[in-house]
Structure 1
């Protein structure tokens, strides 16, 4: 229908079906058929003939008034999509975990501003689940996500930026809080705090897998909606949880972060982006993220 509406606008601008057909590079009978189909779709006459040509009826005027903004919006959106397809789009909508921003996203943005000042980022602090949903709905172009991104990797382009160590979050008064390192095996029998799987899909399974590798199954006494609440419960309940080790550089009231000594305990940092042709802007941001990730991980990932 939108093509027929655009054809109607051309007919009205030209005041003639013949001149409009020439402008549209179609035959006059074909254009006349389009106008009849459009009148059938809207349920009324849109054009009336005069000796000097054609003019819109009252219904035609109404259709033009209502549909012109729609056509303009459609054309602008289509132009933006085409720019993105050519790799010339200059804006990226990026989802991220606030806890990860300082370690990877912030330095990546500094590199991007230096090398590609034309690229604009619209940043959205979102939980992993919100990021995945926004990618699926088209609300994000790229998501900087953690281990949880693995569950959605098959639906998008994905890249493991780096593999980080793991730390234990303990209350300040915990006997293990004074240690320089802790083996996960030493947490057997301890109470764990988990996170709502709706917000961080796969996070509790990741903790469970690490504990099983160490020879025990973790006992989750509670799950809550977000890392901040998890840490508050760790402090109040004298419980524990496992986190990526970039948390060592953060602070939370009543909490001590101690690295784990298990060499196989790792947490993957993943970036996801929309399938299809990868734009130049997306490539530039992914490269900047890889460079920032290399600095915190210390070694490149295998190709």
Structure 2
């Protein structure tokens, strides 16, 4: 018995006539009759009473019809589900985010637009640090990750810069330099600095340290904070100054002044990380969408 037998039987049961059922199926009547007879031999009982002007279901046939319809409906649904997964309209997507990227509005837009275009995809998010996320993508525990910083060459992984930003100085509103239009980074040489730890974002940590050294000093770090939003809250509390990416303007903390640095310093870009030759349609759709959106390269403004 195969699916063809079930479809043939169901057609005859609905038409109660072999010739009409054959026309509906697009086959000749004799082969249809042979297939039904073969099915009856396998079951061990007639499924139809043959009448002079058609057929009627036997008790066995009536019982079998209910199960046959359920099986066919399940098969049709399985086929529809598989096609949705193949198109990327259904399935799952496991995305990792480093804490240093979560405040950027580009990330929120990407997730919102992806969910709107692929509502059947189950999207799960994981927050972690740079190393944990890239390892998880490489090992298959995550499908994609958005992290800050250029990743080293990792076999099997593809990286793509989706957002680039400038580095800003973050000062408490009452700071002596908070009223300036722009800031020479060297003017912060004697300040206490708050910074994210290198384990959370090795690239941006190195960039911030390098910027200070280029300005002629090594920052006096008094506190490490695992992500920029709480870091800026501590700047607002007066615990020190900090360097932060331009997207932190979106936090709009009343007690923090964000200043452009003279000469300009690029911070570590936000990178999309995924496995090379990714075969899942849901992941390919996200990658395509992120790459298209990245071409705009918009940077938040005050």
Alpha-carbon distance in 1 for matches of 2:103, 2:286: 14
Contact kept, 8 Å, 1:92 with 1:141, in 2: the verdict is yes
> Runs of 5+ in structure 1 lacking a partner?
1-81, 299-303
CA contact (8 A) 1:108 1:291 kept: no
Cα distance change on mapping 1:102 and 1:218 into 2, 3 Å: closer
Is the CA contact (8 Å cut-off) linking 2:229 and 2:251 kept in structure 1? no
Of structures 1 and 2, the larger Rg is shown by 2
What do residues 175-219 of structure 1 show as CA deviations (whole Å, max 9, x unaligned)?
Answer: 222223223233223222122223333432121112223333322
SS of the counterpart of 1:189? coil
Alignment of 1:50-69 (within 5 A): none
Partner residue of 2:134 out of 129, 132, 148: 132
- Assess if the C-alpha contact under 8 Å between 1:153 and 1:272 holds in 2: no
Shift of 1:127: 3.3
Aligned equivalent of 1:267: 268
Is the 2:103–2:247 Cα contact (8 Å) retained in structure 1? Answer: no
Structure-2 change in CA distance of 1:251 and 1:157 (3 Å): same
**Structure 2 CA distance, aligned partners of 1:152 and 1:187?**
35
User: Is the aligned partner of 1:190 residue 2:172?
Assistant: no
Alignment of 1:141 with 2:143, yes or no, is yes
In structure 2, what is the Cα distance between the partners aligned to 1:227 and 1:189?
22
Q: Does the 8 Å CA contact 2:173/2:256 hold for their aligned counterparts?
A: yes
1:232-265 CA distance string (max 9 Å, x none)? 4434455211111000111346322222233343
Partner residue, 2:113: 111
TM-score by length of 1: 0.60
RMSD of aligned residue pairs (Cα, Å): 3.3
Whole-Å Cα distance in 1 between the matches of residues 196 and 187 of structure 2? Answer: 21
**Relative to structure 1, is the Cα distance of residues 152 and 254 closer, same or farther in structure 2, using a 3 angstrom cutoff?**
farther
Cα offset, 1:296, TM superposition = 4.7
Q: Is the 8 A contact 1:190 1:219 kept in 2?
A: yes
SS in 2 for 1:270: strand
Question: Which deviates more from structure 2 when the two are superposed, residues 136-145 or residues 278-287?
Answer: 278-287
Distance 1:258 1:291, change over 3 A: farther
Equivalent position of 1:78 in the other structure: none
SS for the counterpart of 2:284 is helix
2:142 aligns to what SS in structure 1? coil
Alpha-carbon shift at residue 142 of structure 1 (Å): 0.6
Displacement of 1:159 after TM fit?
Answer: 0.6
| Distance change (3 Å), C-alpha of 1:287 and 1:136 | closer
Structure 2: any 5+ residue segments left out of the alignment? 1-81
Normalising to structure 2: TM-score of the pair?
0.60
Distance 2:284 2:294 in 1: 15
Q: Which position in structure 1 is the counterpart of 2:259?
A: 258
Whether contact under 8 Å (1:174, 1:238) holds in the other structure is: no
- The change in CA–CA distance for 1:225 and 1:269 in structure 2 (over 3 A counts) is closer
Residues 111-153 of structure 1: per-residue CA shift (max 9 Å, x gap):
3245444433212233334423432443211111112x52575
What is the distance in 1 between the residues matched to 2:196 and 2:128? 15
C-alpha distance in 1 between matches for 2:97 and 2:259: 25
2:178 aligns to what SS in structure 1? helix
The answer (yes or no) to whether the contact 2:98–2:133 under 8 Å persists in 1 is no
Tell me how far apart the structure 2 counterparts of residues 102 and 216 of structure 1 sit (CA, whole Å): 29
